[in-house]
A and B are shown apart, each in its own frame.
Chain A
Amino acid sequence: MNDGLDRDLAEAAGTLPTGPSLDALRRLAKRAKQEGVLDVAYAQVDSPLGPLTVAATDRGLVRVAYPDHTLDSVLEVLSREISPRVLEAPERLDPIRRELDEYFEGHLRRFATKIDWSLTADGFFRKVLRTTARIGYGKVLTYGEVAAKAGSPKAVRATGNGLGSNPMPVVVPCHRVVRTGGALGGYTGGIERKEFLLALERG
């Protein structure tokens, strides 16, 4: 049936907004945080290595992802492993955005952002990453040295795997771990990025 009512309804539907405003979405993220129903906040941060996806919980930074991972895949893991209450909330990530900007400009030598280790099971991998988090700016350790500091000097291969699983590259500086003899070894974001970061820190 196509009559005056159908026409009125169709015309009126044509005048509806195409969706909530960006401002409304920003207010939603803010309010969700205040009401305790925002468990994982994320944002995209530009960097010389491409746009990074960064995510944080109330406990701290939980994920830094290179653009090789699609946003959907990063969010799906956060939803499954931490909580499905995931929202884009750029304001919540402003502190880490500022730190990353300063780091890439060569001004920041140590990240002050707190870290939430939730994405790494509490075991050897987490020990490896915590050890790595303490390697200073511009310094490098070998895989064997990290293995030893993490408590298992023989677990060199497992150390490499642990670093490969680093959910927070750049901030947990797995790029500062290299092979004995000076070869770079692998890197979660590709070897060019490892070279870039090491060169940046050599100044």
Chain B
Amino acid sequence: MSLPPFQTLLDSHGATVHRFLVAAVGPSDAEDCFQEACIAALRAYPRLEHSDNLRAWLLKIAQRKAIDAHRARARRPVPVEHAPEPASPGMPAVPVNGQPVWARVRELPEKQRMAVFLRSVADLSYADVARALDCSQDAARRNVHEGLKRLREEMQS
């Protein structure tokens, strides 16, 4: 069995992994997470037993790094310089941590949060969400739906 060169993987799926991370952990943590995820992927790559669905494999590694970053962030106080600044007149307010809707998704329970990001940002099928989260397809579907349902309820309240 022969694996594609890692650079080819990065060229094909690096953008998706990066976008997923920017949404899941915010633009500033995403840069570190991206490096960590790629290094972890490179480390494991030669031992990979098949080359099926390398995108889901990369996202599985990336979502673990996103969970680590999220937990680390929850443990540390928010530094003052990261506090959102008031938008200057005429400029759209771009929060430091990205779009407000991502901030709300980030409040969901871990499984729902990752399932929603993988589905809505990385555009994975439920089968691939299941692969990335190491769960059944039913569980992947349920997590996406329950997460979205919860967000809708919050929007209405």
Contact = CB atoms under 8 A, between A and B. Distances in A.
Contacts of B120: 9, 13
Interface residues of A, number: 37
B49 to A, nearest CB: 13
A32 B121 contact: no
Given A19-B14, A79-B3, A88-B7, A32 B42 contact: yes
Interface in B105-157: 120-121, 148, 151-152, 155
A5 B99 contact: no
Contact of A38 (B23, B27, B42): B42
Interface residues of B, number: 35
A12 B5 contact: no
Contact of B45 (A4, A24, A31, A85): A85
A20 B8 contact: no
A87 B18 contact: no
Nearest to B148: A5
A86 B38 CA distance: 12
Contact of A87 (B3, B10, B102, B152): B10
A5 B152 contact: yes
Interface of A: 3-5, 8-9, 11-13, 15-20, 24-25, 27-28, 31-32, 35, 37-38, 40, 42, 72, 75-76, 78-80, 83-88
